[in-house]
Each structure stands twice: as structure tokens, then as C-alpha cells.
Amino acid sequence: MAERVALGIDIGGTNVKVAFVKHDGQVIAQESIPTAPERGPERFVSSVAETVRQLASDNHIDWDNDVLGVGVGIAGFLDYKRGFVEESVNLHWFDVPMAEMFERALGKPVRLDNDANVAALGEVWLGAGRSATTALCVTLGTGVGGGIVIDGHIHRGASTMAGEIGHIQVKNDGELCNCGHYGCLETLSSATALVRNGLAAGLAGEDGELTAKGIFDLASTGNATAQRVIEDMIHWLALGLSTGANLLNPDIIVIAGGVVNAGNALIEPLREAFSKAALQRVARACTVVPATLGSQAGVLGAARLVLQVAETA
Ligand SMILES: [Zn+2]
């Protein structure tokens, strides 16, 4: 193989996605395996290592010569400089020297960052945020994740915590958040919060289980309760986004997560609410768009962590 590639690893709560990616973003080979975090980080790392070496050999990628390095995205609070997972609540892993473990198992340099940051980098590199100089990317899922990409690079701040927009406190008398504070954006505008508020308002799913998509479906058929619950979610989201935008003056805000599949039913009213909530000059310079890479953003962004270092070396 003439051109060298990066390996991206995106560690989710259920599955781990791995992909070999070229400098132009083309994926040479990819695979997804169960995360099974309960087996512990050691066994997890060795099983991922086995999978990627096999994937390389199946696709005629010479591990020693063709692979530049490894980028890893994982949910949780990290120390980017040390490559430590300090706290991954959904995997129940704490103080894990993950970059070093992967380096030992794979014999390549490893860069570790959080899932929202790598997804943001992926969207700016190949997705909805292309051509943006200052991008704020927000993922609406179980929580509300955020990543900031400035001039093509993740902005991490002093302790890899920049972009935690989900914990902007938007409601004074709001509910308790996982972080210990009250009224965080995450408690009001995540997909989980939307469902919780839908249930509290008396909505029910078609087959018993209410989902965020189900609430948007109900709203599209004229269900006033569903419409009100969505309006409420959008109201708080616009407030959180405007706070972030007034601080960053981004040219783009990318909204990711399953809820984005609702398309214009989410994006149009969000744009309107955002343009009222943010400073006028900030809102005028900024477009709010849905993400385009879906669940590929993380693994592509993880690979990009390595590729962009190679490009500037
Ligand atoms: Zn919080």
C-alpha cells in the first residue's frame, strides 16, 4: 500500500467502531464489535487490538509500515495530555491509562479524546461543518455533548473540558443533573429529557415505548401535547446555544444525534429561536445545520486526530 492510513477507534457504550482511514477521508476498511465494558479495560484493549490487526491483514494493510497511528474517541472526562480516561460513567471505568494501553498493544502512537470532540472534528473535516472556521457541534442523545473546532483543530481548554455545553445552567429552578448541578441544558434538551417530558405530559408510544422520534411523529400529525413538549425542548436548546455562540461567535452550529432525523421539524424552529436568543450580530453570522455523518462522525474524527498531526509534522 503506497499511502499511509490512520486507525480510528470510536468507543461507545454498546459497540466499538474501528476504521482505517486515508488522508482524504476515504475509509479502507471498518468493523464494529461489542464494547462489553464489564470485562474491564485490559481485556477490552487486547480484544480491540486483535480485531484491528486482523482487519488490517484481511485488507492488505501492512501494520508496521502503513499505519501512521491510532486515534481513540471515548465518552467521559479525560486528560488529553496524559491519554487518561479519568471518569467514564457509562462504561464504569475510572483512571484508566488508555492511550498507553493501546500504545503497548498496538505499537503505534495513540491520541485519545472524548467522543463529542472527535465527532465534532469529523463533522468539520468531512461533514456539515466543512469550510467552517469556528464550529460548535452539539450532540443530542442520552445527554447533550458538545465540541468546539477552531481552524480545523479541537479546542480543549485547560483540562479537556471545553465545549461541555450540556452543563450550561439554563433554568434556575431546574432538575438535578448527573453533574450535581441543577437546570443544566442536558436535563432539558437531550433526547432522554424529551422522552421524559413527553411521558410526564401523558404521551405514549405506538407500541408502548415512547421515543424522541415517536414524539416528533406525533407532533407532525398535529398532536398539540407533543408539539408543546418539542417547543419547550427547542426553547431551552436555543438558550444554551445562544450562550455558547455569544462566547464563541461561530460561523456554524452543527446539531447531531438521532433527533436530527426529525429534519426541519427540529432545525427550522431551532434556527428561529436561536436567532432571537443570541446577539443579533452573532446570530446573523451563524448557520444552524444538521450533522451529515451520522454515527460515522466519531470514528472519522478519531482517525483525523492522527492524520492532522502527520500533515503538520
Ligand atoms: Zn450538568
> Cα of 144 to ligand 1 centre, how many Å?
9
Within 8 A by CB and 6+ apart from 98, the residues are 41, 45, 72, 74, 83, 84, 85, 112
State in Å: Cα 256 to ligand 1 middle.
Answer: 19
Q: Which of the following CATH numbers is that of domain 5-119+295-312: 3.40.50.300, 3.30.420.40, 3.20.20.70, 1.10.10.60?
A: 3.30.420.40
Q: Ligand 1 centroid to 313 CA: how many Å?
A: 38
Give residue 200 CA to ligand 1 midpoint distance, Å: 21
Give me ligand 1 centre to Cα 301, in Å: 25
8 CA → ligand 1 middle, Å: 29
Cα–ligand 1 centroid distance for 164 (angstroms) = 9
Cα of 173 to ligand 1 centre, how many Å? 13
Which residues are registered as beta bridge partners of 237? none
Q: How far is the CA of 167 from the centre of ligand 1 (A)?
A: 4
CATH superfamily, region 130-291: ATPase, nucleotide binding domain (3.30.420.40)
5-119+295-312 and 130-291 in the same fold: yes
Ligand 1 ion: nearby residues, β-carbon < 5 Å: 167, 177, 179, 181, 184
Written as tens digits, the pLDDT of the chain (313 aa) is 557 999 999 999 899 999 999 999 999 999 999 999 999 999 999 999 999 999 999 999 999 999 999 999 999 999 999 999 999 988 999 999 999 999 999 999 999 999 999 999 999 999 999 989 999 999 999 899 999 999 999 999 999 999 999 999 999 999 999 889 999 999 999 999 999 999 999 999 877 799 999 999 999 999 999 999 999 999 999 999 999 999 999 999 999 998 888 888 999 999 999 999 999 999 999 999 999 999 999 999 999 999 998 787 6
> In the sheet that 153-154 helps form, which strands lie side by side, from edge to edge?
153-154, 144-150, 134-140, 252-256, 287-290
Q: How many helices (H) does the chain have, and how many strands (E)?
A: 11, 13
Domain residue extents for the chain: 5-119+295-312, 130-291
